[in-house]
Amino acid sequence: MQRTLVLLKPDAVHRRLVGAILQRFEQKGLRLVGLKLVQASRALAEKHYAVHRGKPFFEDLLRFLTSGPTLAVCLEGREAVAVVRSLMGQTDGAKSPPGTIRGDFGLSVQNNLVHGSDSPENAAQEIEIWFKPDELLNYQIAGSEWVG
Give the C-alpha separation, 17 to 43, whole Å.
Answer: 26
92, 34 Cβ separation under 8 angstroms = no
Active site residue 115: yes
Q: At residue 109, what are phi and psi to the nearest 5 degrees?
A: -85, -50
Is the Cα torsion angle 3, 4, 5, 11 positive or negative in sign? negative
Q: At residue 76, what are phi and psi to the nearest 5 degrees?
A: -135, 145
Catalytic residue among 14, 48, 52, 115: 115
* Cα angle, residue 82 at apex, residues 79 and 86 outer, rounded to 5°: 135
Residues with catalytic roles: 115
